[in-house]
């Protein structure tokens, strides 16, 4: 009999939520993490993440994000800790902006609360912003901020409280099928046997699920925290999270909700990485100016000067959708979501989905869009 029912490899956003959901279902579960949870080598750090209901990437995500909101509130009720703060979101771009139009279409298709605003109305309501007069603007009141490191810590503690085992600073060399189960091979040769495995290894997923490797891009992303010119205008009460589409970039940002500054970054790549271990390099003046010029022009109250910087990695699928579901050859191995830079908000519900797939082989959640097999038929 295997030592564990399910092993979860990687304890970032998806892995930590999955481990909790497995433990909640009474499974003998182990989570294995290469570093310390909340580390800065992947995609689950950086103090804040956006959560938004109307989804410009594809309206098909909206039913799933509704469930994610529900599960984030469940985590808060369970732990007595806040991880989701509602601020609303401002999405804006030059007239005809594809992003703004796609978000508006998503809101209309799913009956989501929203307002179409002029740039003047935005400035009156949210004076940190000074947008060009001809920009299209949509405000959605349900969006807000998630705290990634805090959420991961809460999920892992809740999982441990329910009996899950957690191993950190432990590298997994291989996940291979063994009969109807799996063998998890660790550095040094130790083998952990389980009935099923969930691979949630972020930018390392191509090493553990090699069929994915040729289909993924790893991109360097730069995060910048700005010292505000007008601190009173950039609190969550007066400034929502935001997405700004310029002619050549998409800049997203978060108000100063922890006293660390206004965080902003480009959603587009700031360089390619050959592997998860590749040197990301120092954040350059050019990296900073790319974001700062948009902030100076569109949110001058928020962008006096850079205060600090960080980097993270996006693991991108060719179509920018998630990759999530059973391995094409071995259904006891579940692939957990290279998220293409927009997945953290879904971790609370995808943990539930992954736990269902690992234990029953099926889920009734709307995740058909994300099947790994689509990569093999493209």
> Is residue 338 predicted with pLDDT exceeding 80?
no
pLDDT of residue 297: 97
- Does residue 1 register a pLDDT over 70? no
Distance CA 189, CA 301 (A): 55
pLDDT band (50, 70, 90) for residue 378: low
Residues 261, 226 contacting (CB under 8 angstroms): yes
SS3 letters across 51-72 = ECCCCCCCHHHHHHHHHHHHHH
**Which residues of the chain are in CATH 3.30.9.10 domains?**
89-142+217-316
Q: Would you state the structure tokens that stand for residue 185, as one six-digit string?
A: 């091979």
Decide which of 2.115.10.20, 3.30.9.10, 3.40.50.12780, 1.10.8.590 is the CATH code for 89-142+217-316. 3.30.9.10
Q: Over the stretch 244-269, which tens digit does the pLDDT of each residue have?
A: 999 999 999 999 999 999 999 999 98
Task: Record the pTM.
Answer: 0.97
Residues comprising the chain, all counted = 378
Average pLDDT of 200-223? 95
Rounded-to-5 percentages of helix, strand, coil across the chain:
35, 30, 40
CA distances from 292 to 235, 304, 307 (A): 19, 9, 12
CATH topology of domain 4-45+149-215+319-377: FAD/NAD(P)-binding domain (3.50.50)
Q: Coil, strand, or helix at residue 290?
A: helix
- 220 close to 311: Cβ distance less than 8 angstroms: yes
- Rounded CA-CA distance 165/169 in Å is 14
> Which residues on neighbouring strands pair with residue 309, listed in sequence order?
224
DSSP 126-195: -TT----TT-EEEEETT-EEE-HHHHHHHHHHHHHHTT-EEE-S--EEEEEEETTEEEEEEGGG-EEEEE
Burial of 223 (0-12, 13-18, 19+ CB in 10 A): buried
At 107, list the tokens.
Answer: 């809101």
Give the integer Cα–Cα distance in Å for 294 and 129: 11
Mean per-residue pLDDT, 198-222: 95
Q: In the predicted model, what is the mean pLDDT of the chain?
A: 96
- pLDDT tens digit sequence for 88-141: 999 999 999 999 999 999 999 999 999 999 999 999 999 999 999 999 999 999
Report, as an integer, the average pLDDT of 183-199: 96
For residue 240, what are the contacts with CB-CB under 8 A and spacing of at least 6?
A: 87, 88, 89, 90, 126, 139, 143, 255
At 277-325, the pLDDT tens digits run 999 999 999 999 999 999 999 999 999 999 999 999 999 999 999 999 9
Helix (H, G, I), strand (E, B) or coil at 371: coil
Contact 139, 80 (CB under 8 A): no
Residues of the chain within CATH 3.50.50.60 domain(s) are 4-45+149-215+319-377
């Amino acid at each position: 009999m295997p030592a564990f029912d399910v092993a979860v490899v990687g304890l970032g956003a998806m892995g930590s939520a999955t481990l909790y959901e497995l433990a909640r279902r009474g499974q003998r579960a182990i989570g294995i993490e290469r570093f310390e949870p909340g580390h800065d080598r992947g995609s689950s750090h950086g103090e804040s993440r956006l959560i938004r209901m109307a989804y410009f990437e594809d309206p098909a995500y909206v039913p799933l994000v509704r469930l994610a909101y529900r599960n984030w509130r469940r985590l808060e009720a369970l732990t007595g800790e806040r991880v989701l703060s509602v601020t609303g979101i401002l999405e804006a771009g030059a007239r005809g902006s594809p992003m703004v139009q796609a978000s508006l279409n998503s809101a209309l298709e799913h009956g989501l609360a929203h307002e179409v605003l002029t740039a003047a109305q935005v400035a009156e309501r949210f004076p940190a912003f000074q947008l060009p007069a001809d920009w299209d603007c949509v405000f959605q009141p349900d969006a807000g901020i998630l705290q990634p490191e805090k959420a991961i810590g809460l999920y892992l503690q809740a999982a441990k409280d329910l009996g899950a085992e957690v191993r950190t600073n432990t590298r997994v060399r291989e996940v291979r099928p063994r009969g109807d189960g799996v063998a998890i091979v660790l550095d040094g040769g130790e083998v952990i046997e389980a009935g099923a495995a969930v691979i949630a290894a972020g930018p390392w997923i191509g090493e553990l699920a090699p069929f994915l490797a040729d289909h993924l891009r790893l991109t360097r992303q730069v995060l910048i925290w700005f010292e505000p010119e007008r601190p009173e205008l950039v609190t969550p009460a007066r400034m929502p999270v935001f997405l700004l589409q310029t002619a050549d970039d998409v800049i997203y940002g978060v108000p100063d909700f922890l006293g660390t500054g206004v965080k902003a970054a480009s959603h587009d790549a700031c360089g390619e990485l050959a592997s998860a271990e590749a040197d990301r390099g120092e954040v350059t003046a050019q990296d900073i100016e790319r974001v700062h010029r948009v902030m100076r022009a569109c949110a001058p109250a928020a962008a006096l000067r850079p205060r600090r910087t960080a980097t993270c990695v996006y693991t991108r699928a060719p179509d920018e959708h998630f990759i999530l579901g059973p391995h094409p050859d071995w259904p006891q191995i579940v692939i957990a979501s290279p998220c293409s830079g927009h997945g953290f908000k879904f971790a609370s519900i995808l943990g539930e989905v992954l736990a269902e797939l690992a234990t029953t082989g099926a889920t009734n959640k709307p995740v058909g869009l994300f099947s790994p097999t689509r990569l093999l038929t493209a």
